[in-house]
Chain A
Amino acid sequence: MNSGVVALAFISIIVSAGSFVGFYAGSHRKMDLEQWIVGDRGFGMLFVWLLTAGEVYTTFSFLGASGWAYSRGGPVLYILAYQPLTNVVAFFILPQVWEVGRKYRLQTQADFFHVRYDNKYLAAFVALVGVMFIIPYLQLQLTGLGIIVEVASYGAIHRAPAMVISCIIVAAFVLTSGIRGVAWVSVLKDLLLLFSAVFVGVAVPYIYFGGIGPMFKLLVRSNPAHLVMPGATTNLGHSWYVSTVLLVSLGFFMWPQFFGASFSAKSSDTLRRNAVVMPFYSITMPLMFFVGLAATLILPGLPNGDLSMLAMVRKTFPAWFLGLIGGAGALTAMVPAGFMILTAATLFAKNICRPILWPGMTDQHVAKLAKTTVLVITVTALCSAIYSSTTLVSLLLVGNGGVGQFLPGVVLGLYSKRVTMLGVFAGVVTGVFIFVALMLTNHDPVMGLNAGFIALCCNFTIVAAVSLLTPAERSGFEKIAA
């Protein structure tokens, strides 16, 4: 049998198993908005773990990490830094967000802004910015999926049809099962990915170099500069590292879908314990780096670094194993994609359409509109994924810089009595504007610093200044309670 067919069979089996789990998860439940978007606030540690750890194992870690290790070298270490630190930050934010979420029945990140600052325009703006930055992140997952399936099937399926098929499946399980579907498919995806990451990451250095140590000995001899920052780049040095790690670790849980995932937890203690142990989960990340670094010696000169991992697997292992990796990789894209689609659709229906356009909408209308929006967002991301190409990590960094601008509004909203609605509104508008302006004019990094980080600093300054110039207000969280 030809290797393309074998690999394709494995990919299809895994993707079908994943879709079955996704449909089944919600098929026996009534899907109102509360069930659909926050799983009735009943998720224990395992599900919360899988939802928030979703990012640790996405197509980005699958392709982007080895891709950066291959094409940039040392700067890839920022991934190993932001993942544990993100959870350190989460420890101080998410349990508190959960507490107010339960009390005021919050379902989305924009709900948080709406209730805390008592302003629907601020909430709608936050929702809009969230959706705006989710789309490139979604595009990242789809692009990754297309690459994985195309390479893993030996070109038997091209990337565009692969993306279309998987988008149909994702939209379908999001519509039937909501966040429950996302969580259940994650179980399968994470098991497969843990296995393949460990296996490939250990096996590749052993097969070619007799171990990880000997591989590094060779790397140090051939190109030591590749292993430290700035590696193969000129501008990703230490100041870039510090500012990027700060921005991403502070801003990571500002992604609307991860912020929203905290509402699905059973208790705030679940989130707190989760934040404590989560860094362990990144332990397979270095293995992906090793594969990318091995590829610099075995397969130099690949045109696209993001392909280094798959190219190594294809060179080293039999077709069925490539198919297995391909299937796991496809699920890896589909799970976070589903979560993002779900979140973006709810933000659009609940926080943009209802308060601004049709105040008379009932909860049922919101749920119905959200489900229609699922299709619109899927098609939008699909088109942008088919018609444009950027490397995976740069797309992720774009999104992080954008959503990171919500941080002052969230942290000060929880902990400060003096922060005002106008202050936060002015800050987030400034932050997003500066960030987008810097990105569009290709100024990232600017003066060796991450553009999103610079925008965040300006944002904080504006929030503080405007808040102090405007009269103090009561927090919306107390107002309703009283």
Chain B
Amino acid sequence: MRQFWPQGALVRKPSIGAILLALIPFTAICFSVSLWDRIDPMIFGLPFNFFWLIAWLLLTPLCMWGAYRLEAARASDPHRDSGGTP
């Protein structure tokens, strides 16, 4: 198991990369609603809005897996630890 926080350090801020990756599903699912909330084109027999959100159930874990890898890489590199407290 990976150790995300060195002993004694308080919680560390997530990396910019992880936050950017997390903003992708937020943009695609939430903010862009007026772009995809329509029936045409129908894909796999589904209205476009249904298809779009179902697709993002599969794509969101992909983005977050990227964020996970970024955070894990940071955690295994002690020099980039920003916590610094004892």
Chain B positions 13 through 55: 1 when the CB is less than 8 Å from some CB of chain A, otherwise 0:
1100011001001100111011001110010111101100110
Q: Does A92 contact B (CB under 8 A)?
A: yes
Q: Shortest Cβ distance from B62 into chain A, in angstroms?
A: 9
Contact of A216 among B4, B38, B46 (CB under 8 A): B46
Choose among B2, B13, B49, B61 the residue with the greatest number of A CB atoms under 10 Å from its CB. B61
Asked if residues B30 and A279 are in contact (CB atoms below 8 Å), the reply is no
Q: What residue of chain A has the Cβ atom nearest to residue B56's Cβ?
A: A84
Asked if residues A81 and B53 are in contact (CB atoms below 8 Å), the reply is yes
Q: Shortest Cβ distance from B14 into chain A, in angstroms?
A: 5
Query: For A95, what are the chain B residues with a Cβ–Cβ distance below 8 Å?
Result: 4
Asked if residues B14 and A227 are in contact (CB atoms below 8 Å), the reply is no
If A81-B30, A211-B45, A220-B47 touch, whether A280 touches B61 (CB-CB below 8 Å) is yes
Asked if residues B22 and A77 are in contact (CB atoms below 8 Å), the reply is no
Asked if residues A84 and B8 are in contact (CB atoms below 8 Å), the reply is no
Distance, CA A188 to CA B75, complexed state (A): 36
Contact of B26 among A88, A100, A217 (CB under 8 A): A88
Asked if residues A238 and B29 are in contact (CB atoms below 8 Å), the reply is no
Asked if residues A84 and B57 are in contact (CB atoms below 8 Å), the reply is yes
Asked if residues B49 and A228 are in contact (CB atoms below 8 Å), the reply is yes
Chain A positions 223 through 256: 1 when the CB is less than 8 Å from some CB of chain B, otherwise 0:
0100111000000001001100110010000000
Q: Shortest Cβ distance from A195 into chain B, in angstroms?
A: 19
* Count of A interface residues, CB-CB < 8 Å: 53
Q: Shortest Cβ distance from B11 into chain A, in angstroms?
A: 4
Q: Shortest Cβ distance from A273 into chain B, in angstroms?
A: 7
Asked if residues B39 and A220 are in contact (CB atoms below 8 Å), the reply is yes
Distance, CA A96 to CA B1, complexed state (A): 16
Q: Shortest Cβ distance from B74 into chain A, in angstroms?
A: 12
If A85-B30, A272-B71 touch, whether A212 touches B10 (CB-CB below 8 Å) is no
Q: Give residues in A with beta carbon < 8 Å to B.
A: 74, 77, 80-81, 83-85, 87-88, 91-92, 95-96, 99-100, 211-214, 216-217, 220, 224, 227-229, 238, 241-242, 245-246, 249, 267-269, 272-273, 275-280, 282-283, 286, 289, 414-415, 475, 477-478, 481
16 A-B pairs with CB atoms under 8 Å apart are A74-B49, A77-B37, A85-B26, A85-B30, A100-B10, A214-B45, A216-B46, A227-B47, A238-B33, A246-B30, A278-B61, A280-B58, A280-B61, A286-B54, A477-B10, A481-B10
Q: A74-B37, A214-B45 are in contact. List 9 more A-B contacts (CB 8 A).
A: A95-B4, A227-B47, A279-B58, A279-B61, A280-B58, A283-B54, A286-B50, A475-B10, A478-B85
Top 6 A-B residue pairs of the complex, sorted by shortest distance between their CB atoms: A213-B45, A96-B11, A84-B60, A80-B53, A276-B64, A279-B60
